[in-house]
Amino acid sequence: MTNHELWQAVLGELELVLSKASFVTWFSQTSLTMFENNRVVITVPNTFVKAWLEKKHHTTILKTLQNISSQIIKEIAYKVDDVRFAEGLSQQRTQTVVIEKAAEQVAAQNQAMEKVTNKFGLNPKYTFKTFVVGKGNEFAHAAAQAVADHPGKKYNPLFIYGGVGLGKTHLTQAIGNEILIKNQNKKVLYITCEQFINDFINAVRSKDVKKFKDVYRNVDVFLVDDIQFIIGKQETGEEFFHTFNALFQEDKQIVLSSDRPPRAFQGLIEDRMCSRFECGVIADISLPGLETRIAILETKCKEKQVFVDREVLIEIASKVQNNIRELEGALNKVIANQQIRNIPLTKDMVRSILSGYNTAPATRRSVTATQLIETVANYYGITISQVVGKSREQRLSFPRQIIMYLMREELDYSYPSIGKEIGGRDHTTAMHACSKINREMESDAKLQQDMDYIKQRLYN
Ligand code: ADP
Ligand code: MG
């Protein structure tokens, strides 16, 4: 048997006992280059593989070699092949692409999972059990738990607000899931505000508003996510108000979530609706601290039934600070890497895996004019083309002035370039807008608050 034949036979055995990924990663570029006096040299493409084979596969290799050669092996040396090492580098790059692809697949699977809902619109994975409580969300959590324990009695409506990806949907759905666990006969309905709007528009179109009312006014627990989308929707807003009142009067539990507090709805929706939002309990969710982020990652690992080293989790949690959805995305990417490479990851590897993540909080400089325009338009429930368009309607011109003011204050734009960005306006228009908003900021507390919320969103 030549060395080559011997090694091929060994590989044949190993292929049966190892996972495919593991086998390809660690053995595809190895060869047996010496077998003398019961001593063996195995040539490997790089130091990485060398260390790994020595540490993890040595015993298996030894046993298999002895079996096939029917000899006692005294020593196995793993030697790095320098020529192949250079080639290996380029292969590693190919491998990275494969890993990226796999990470995308994991993410897609997760997204599909997120869409799994039962007939109440609830995803069973969002429960109190899987919700990690920390400083930023403890009040919201306690209020949600109280609502789930005594629906319709304690806090009605419960209004939960907070930034993107901080757990509003999770908490809102946890209420619904918990109520159903306790009592399957409760009519729980979870819906996003956008679904409500579409449903209503369709009902009107198909002249079926009665059926619509029958459904919505006959629930025990009404959970409406992302209620800010009601801004600018006149007719649906009206219908929502009546639905709200009908349920509220019968002590049915209502939970609303939003990316801004009720106060920030003032002037954007009808006053009577606004005061309804405020009449129960208002709870905010703010950014979780490092400890909470680590705890969340630990919970997610348990859910996914995978083990990730705590050091690695700390590394992820330190990098991704602004959004728990992104935090989970980063974790998925790391897990995919770990599974495909079939090795525990080091901190450095994690760093390079997450290098594409925009992790640190945004600074003034890193925000673009487009982002600013988008944020403000979104805040006021209007479109970008409306805000840069010609109309002088107050509901459009006011946000437009806010944008000009913020471009000046936050991005240090000149007046002419502000005018240019905002639909090719004259620089005097920009000057006028900035000084007007400046004046109003001094005396208008509501505007000051709005400005704070807008900035928070811009920089988070
Ligand atoms: P929002 O609705 O505020 O944009 P989500 O509720 O969709 O955010 O949360 C985004 C992701 O982060 C979800 O996968 C959710 O499970 C997770 N998440 C958010 N907060 C927590 C938490 N406190 N504990 C565990 N997971 C959380
Ligand atoms: Mg949400």
Q: Which ligand is nearest to the CA of 165?
A: 1
Q: Is the CB of 324 under 6 A from ligand 1?
A: yes
Cβ–Cβ under 8 Å, residues 432 and 421:
no
Task: For ligand 1, atom 6, name the residue with the nearest CA.
Answer: 167
Closest ligand 1 atom to 170 CA: 6
Q: Are 264 and 450 in contact (CB under 8 A)?
A: yes
Place of tokens 């324990």: 149
Residue 328 CA, ligand 1 centroid: distance in Å: 9
Q: Which of 340, 310, 314, 344 is nearest to 327 (CA)?
A: 314
Cβ(274)–Cβ(241) under 8 Å? Answer: no
| Residue ranges of E strands in 226-295 | 253-258, 281-285
Q: What does the pLDDT look like over 396-434, one tens digit per residue?
A: 999 999 999 999 988 888 999 999 999 999 999 999 999
Quote the pLDDT of residue 458.
87
Q: Is 167 in the pocket of ligand 1 (CB under 6 A)?
A: yes
Q: What pLDDT does residue 449 have? A: 84
Q: Is the CB of 141 under 6 A from ligand 1?
A: no
For a substitution probing ligand 1, which of 170, 301, 323 has the most ligand atoms within 8 Å of its CB? 170
Phi-psi region of 80 (alpha: psi -120 to 50; beta: other; left: phi over 0): beta
Which residues, at least 6 apart from 352, have a Cβ–Cβ distance to it below 8 Å? Answer: none
Q: What is the pLDDT of residue 361?
A: 62
| Ligand 1 centroid – CA 324 distance (Å) | 6
- 318 Cβ closer than 6 Å to some ligand 1 atom: no
Protein residue with its CA nearest to atom 18 in ligand 1: 167
Tokens representing 182 are: 């306790």
257 CA distance to ligand 2 middle (Å):
8
How much is the pLDDT for 85?
Answer: 54
CB 299 less than 6 A from any atom of ligand 1:
yes
Q: Kindly give the distance from the C-alpha atom of residue 329 to the centroid of ligand 2, in angstroms, as a whole number.
A: 15
From 168, 220, 171, 215, select the one nearest 196 (Cα to Cα).
Answer: 215
Dist. CA 114 → ligand 2 center (Å): 11
Provide CB contacts within 8 A for 80, sequence distance 6+. 43, 44, 45, 46, 47, 50
Which residues 6+ apart lie within 8 Å of 59 measured at CB? Answer: none
Whether 341 is in the pocket of ligand 1, judged by its Cβ within 6 Å, is: no
Determine the 3-state secondary structure of 20 from DSSP. helix
What pLDDT is recorded for position 349? 87
Site to probe by mutation for ligand 1, drawn from 324, 328, 331, 457 as the one with most ligand atoms within 8 Å of Cβ, is 324
pLDDT, tens digit only, all 460 positions of the chain: 888 888 988 888 888 887 776 777 788 788 999 999 999 999 987 776 787 888 888 999 999 989 888 889 999 999 887 665 555 545 555 555 666 666 666 666 666 656 666 778 899 889 999 999 999 999 999 999 999 999 998 899 999 999 889 999 999 999 999 999 999 999 999 999 999 999 999 999 999 999 999 999 999 999 999 999 999 898 999 999 999 999 999 999 999 999 999 988 988 899 999 999 999 999 999 989 999 999 999 999 998 888 888 999 999 999 898 889 999 999 998 988 887 777 778 888 888 888 877 666 667 667 899 999 999 999 999 999 999 999 999 999 999 999 999 999 888 889 999 999 999 999 999 999 999 999 999 898 889 888 988 988 888 7
**DSSP-assigned letters across all residues of 21-41:** HHHHHHHTT-EEEEEETTEEE
